């Protein structure tokens, strides 16, 4: 693609001139403002800020040498031709004045009357001009730059925070419309002269929201403009990587490279996922050949509706060994509906999204005749094995979800990794940076030592102040590999048990699955409320199954990774693993730090059982006392529950859990009396389960512990089988049974029943439902669980980077 300055008879492509709309004036009373700040429907921007600061601490790198050239490899001839066009007076005034070395439409930023909004229209007009003369891109429609700083982009969820990018580049949107979040190609923030926060933090908010809104984005490009200085940032699952800043007047060709690259490069190089496309559901109803489209080409797509489906190809299992995948044969899956997409909004991490899926070959069948699979999309640390490889090593076993297929995502014929296909082998320069530093007005001192930040802080109207993080605990970014997994087993979270008998049967079979995995050399390491499913099957063996082997290891050969964080879901992790110290009941000193073993996973099963015995007052009904009670907690049940499962201070969790095993009277006097009447038949099982674990820790001998625990569950099952279900909960059981029939397949989401006060998009990797919600809908005076919200509420982080 090239461009030559045409003669006067052939005018240059004319980009539309943008004029900043007037700011709408809205008067708010104090009560209206307070109501907005505490709305139960919208996420507050401050909440998003706090999460980003915590999540991305130590994962932000800037001033990367060679960034623009590697990320935007635009041909030098095209850049020269565009620059010539920008300097040409045809038609009208030139865009760039070579004599004055400046873009002609930009204001004097040193003027006393300079305001940030004066940069919006000039930048948009220059960007649209450069886009127009860059030429067409057959991969996508022309990029459109626009500015609507007074209006937040529309969202498909009702809970999005009120965020307003200053400038955006969008795809597939007419010029007279404001682009919704999922159509935004590149967000941009202009530095506010009086802003106490870094412009980068605002860009991260936008990038996070786009991840949530768009399931076909692998990374997001963001831009900041501070006076005349531009910085470019990539947000991917490894964190944030930023460019060197450049002055758009002194270095106009860098600006041209950036804008032309956004227009001319393939979408796969600009963050989009070419392996996921949308298909109209009508083509399957009419038995037509599906036409795969980019999401920005489908304006009426609604993630909460079924008018369009995502369609994805997966490696096909080999005929001679279904645990191995074919190198050439593929099969196509239609993603019917999402199960859990909230974690996809996480920038740093696995970004896991889960859908229910059908095989495309079965789409001609009625819905109730199609085989339903679970489709999982995630990014794993390259130092860990693929989850599918773990299932393959385990094989088909009772109590373990059945794998159908798995593989690494290929983009443009290469493995999709953050270091290779996204960052293009760029490595961070220097230390990670603080993003949450207050942007002060401080006059720099030329005499101060270089390391004295207290006097080296500039007044940051022309750049963000992002000081380095000096810490020995920080580690470099880790390469993430994009992979997918399809399971043939489905079910419902164990929290949706119909009776104590169903709970015991499901947990017993899942524990059997854990034993079978352990015998094949695999340790799960993340037993939790969401990773045990009830399948609804009646025959023993698979009434409950263990899922999510993301954190599992080959325990016989596993070597601890230097920066490997705790693995598991915090409320259910053994205090030995959580505190990295042996139980006090161990009768002799052990010098080594506890090594995660089968006993610790079995203890996690114990905490899952105890948790459910605390919180359930009936089938799928949460105990009223653990919903409506405001903090600080008051009752004995509330205090004990929070200390064991919801304490914000990890030390409180550790000490509280240790006491249950270290002090003989704690279980009998402080725990068992708090079990709900509905779960009281489980009291003997909980006591026996506790005794098995206690004796194992006292001797620190774990031989045969699986069999002992399974035998205890078998005794409990035999006892419960003969108990009639005339406990007054038959209506609730029928309600849940009907929900399962309609659902067709269970949800892996373990979110709280509360729907209206949620964070959108949701945060980091999740754990269990909260005890403090008071907004759940009522059902006959009780509080039922609801199907998961599309934007679940924030929860405490799993310990996995």
- CA 375-381-387 angle, 5° bins: 40
Average pLDDT over residues 311-323: 94
Average pLDDT over residues 696-711: 93
Q: What is the rounded end-to-end Cα distance, in angstroms, of the chain? A: 42
- pLDDT tens readout for residues 99-115: 999 999 999 888 878 88
Q: Is pLDDT of 507 > 80?
A: yes
Query: Could you tell me how many residues make up the chain?
Result: 801
- CA 697-703-708 angle, 5° bins: 80
Q: Which range (24-28, 62-66, 736-740) has the least confidence? A: 24-28
> Would you state the pLDDT for residue 14?
53
> Would you state the pLDDT for residue 704?
94
Kindly report the number of other CB atoms within 10 A of residue 236's CB atom: 26
Q: Is pLDDT of 18 > 60?
A: no
Average pLDDT over residues 338-347: 86
> Would you state the pLDDT for residue 15?
53
Per-residue DSSP letters for 328-397?
A: EEEEEEEEEEEEE-GGGG-SSS---EEEEEEEGGGTTS-GGGSPPEEEEEEEEETTS--HHHHHHHH-S-
Query: Which residue segments constitute the domains of the chain, with CATH numbers given?
Result: 45-270 (3.90.1570.30), 491-724 (1.10.510.10)
Higher pLDDT, 298 or 288: 298
Structure tokens at 31: 């009560």
* Distance between CA atoms of residues 567 and 798, nearest Å: 7
Q: Which helix (H) or strand (E) holds 103?
A: strand 102-103
Contact assessment for residue 272 and residue 294, using Cβ atoms and an 8 Å cutoff: yes
Q: Is pLDDT of 463 > 80?
A: no
Q: Which range (391-395, 495-499, 657-661, 763-767) has the least confidence? A: 763-767
Which of 224, 215, 235 minimizes the C-alpha distance to 761?
215
Q: Is pLDDT of 8 > 50?
A: no
- CA 623-619-717 angle, 5° bins: 115
Higher pLDDT, 88 or 472: 88
> Would you state the pLDDT for residue 743?
81
- pLDDT tens readout for residues 364-406: 998 888 999 999 999 999 988 999 999 999 999 999 999 999 9
> Would you state the pLDDT for residue 794?
37
Strand 353-359 vs strand 325-340: parallel, antiparallel, or unpaired?
Answer: antiparallel
> Would you state the pLDDT for residue 607?
98
Which of 160, 412, 398, 371 minimizes the C-alpha distance to 272?
412
Q: Is pLDDT of 713 > 90?
A: yes
């Amino acid at each position: 693609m090239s461009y030559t300055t045409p003669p006067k008879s052939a005018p240059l492509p004319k980009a539309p001139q943008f004029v900043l709309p007037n700011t709408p004036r809205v008067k708010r009373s104090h009560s209206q403002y307070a109501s907005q700040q505490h709305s139960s429907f919208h996420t507050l921007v401050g909440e998003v800020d706090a999460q980003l600061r915590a999540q991305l601490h130590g994962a932000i790198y800037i001033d990367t040498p060679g960034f623009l050239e590697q990320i935007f490899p635009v041909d030098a001839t095209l850049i020269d031709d565009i620059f010539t066009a920008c300097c040409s007076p045809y038609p009208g005034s030139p865009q760039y004045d070579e004599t004055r070395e400046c873009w002609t439409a930009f204001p004097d930023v040193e003027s006393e009357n300079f305001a940030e909004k004066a940069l919006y229209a000039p930048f948009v007009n220059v960007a649209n001009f450069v886009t127009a003369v860059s030429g067409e891109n057959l991969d996508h429609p022309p990029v459109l730059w626009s500015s609507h700083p007074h209006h937040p982009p529309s969202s498909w969820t009702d809970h999005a925070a009120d965020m307003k990018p200053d400038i955006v580049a969008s795809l597939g949107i007419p010029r007279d419309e404001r682009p919704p979040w999922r159509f935004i190609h590149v967000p941009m923030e202009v530095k506010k002269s009086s802003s106490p926060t870094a412009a980068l933090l605002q860009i991260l908010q936008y990038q996070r929201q786009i991840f949530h809104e768009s399931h076909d984005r692998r990374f997001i490009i963001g831009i900041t403009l501070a006076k005349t200085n531009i910085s470019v940032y990539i947000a991917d699952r490894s964190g944030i990587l930023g460019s060197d800043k450049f002055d758009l007047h002194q270095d106009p060709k860098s600006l041209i490279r950036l804008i032309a690259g956004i227009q001319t490069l393939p979408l796969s190089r600009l963050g989009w996922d070419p392996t996921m496309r949308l298909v109209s559901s009508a083509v399957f109803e009419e038995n037509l050949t599906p036409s795969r489209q980019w999401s920005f080409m489908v304006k009426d797509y609604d993630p909460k509706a079924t008018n369009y489906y995502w369609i994805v190809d997966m490696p096909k299992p080999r005929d001679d060994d279904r645990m191995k995948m074919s190198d050439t044969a593929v099969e196509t899956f239609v993603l019917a509906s999402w199960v859990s997409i909230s974690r996809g909004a996480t920038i740093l991490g696995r970004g896991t999204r889960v859908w229910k899926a059908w095989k495309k070959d079965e789409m001609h069948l009625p819905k109730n005749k199609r085989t339903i699979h679970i489709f999982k999309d995630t990014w794993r640390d390259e130092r860990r094995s693929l989850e599918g490889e773990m299932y393959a090593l385990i094989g088909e076993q009772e109590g373990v979800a059945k794998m159908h297929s798995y593989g690494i995502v290929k983009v443009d014929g290469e493995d999709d990794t953050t270091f290779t296909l996204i960052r293009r082998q760029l490595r961070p320069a220097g230390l990670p940076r603080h993003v949450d530093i207050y942007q002060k007005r401080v006059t720099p001192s030329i005499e101060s030592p270089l390391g004295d930040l207290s006097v080296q802080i500039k007044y940051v109207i022309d750049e963000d102040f992002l000081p380095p993080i000096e810490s020995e605990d920080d580690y470099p970014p880790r390469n993430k590999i994009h992979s997918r997994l399809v399971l043939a087993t489905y079910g419902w979270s164990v929290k949706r048990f119909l009776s104590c008998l169903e709970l015991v049967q499901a947990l017993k079979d899942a524990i059997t699955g854990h034993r079978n995995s352990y015998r094949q050399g695999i340790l799960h390491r993340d037993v939790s409320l969401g990773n045990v499913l009830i399948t609804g099957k009646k025959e023993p063996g698979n009434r409950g199954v263990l899922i999510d082997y993301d954190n599992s290891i080959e325990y016989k050969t596993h070597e601890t990774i230097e920066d490997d964080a705790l693995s598991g879901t915090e409320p259910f992790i053994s205090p030995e693993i959580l505190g990295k110290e042996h139980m006090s009941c161990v009768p002799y000193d052990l010098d080594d730090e506890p090594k995660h073993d089968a006993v610790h996973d079995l203890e996690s099963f114990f905490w899952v059982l105890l948790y459910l015995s605390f919180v359930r007052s009936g089938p799928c009904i949460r105990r009223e006392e653990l919903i409506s009670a405001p903090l600080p907690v008051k009752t004995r049940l509330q205090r004990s529950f929070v200390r064991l499962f919801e304490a914000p201070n990890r030390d409180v969790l550790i000490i509280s859990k240790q006491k249950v095993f270290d002090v003989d009277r704690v279980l009998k006097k402080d725990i068992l009396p708090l079990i709900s009447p509905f779960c009281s038949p489980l009291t003997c099982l909980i006591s026996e389960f506790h005794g098995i674990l206690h004796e194992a820790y006292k001797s620190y001998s774990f031989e045969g512990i699986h069999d002992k625990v399974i035998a205890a569950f078998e005794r409990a099952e035999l006892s419960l089988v003969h108990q009639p279900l005339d406990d007054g909960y038959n209506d609730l059981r029928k309600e849940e049974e009907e929900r399962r029939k309609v659902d067709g397949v269970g949800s892996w989401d373990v979110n709280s029943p509360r729907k209206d006060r949620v964070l959108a998009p949701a945060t980091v990797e999740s754990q269990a439902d909260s005890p403090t919600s008071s907004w759940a809908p009522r059902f006959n005076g009780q509080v039922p669980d609801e199907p998961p919200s599309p934007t679940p509420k924030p929860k405490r982080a799993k310990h996995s980077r």
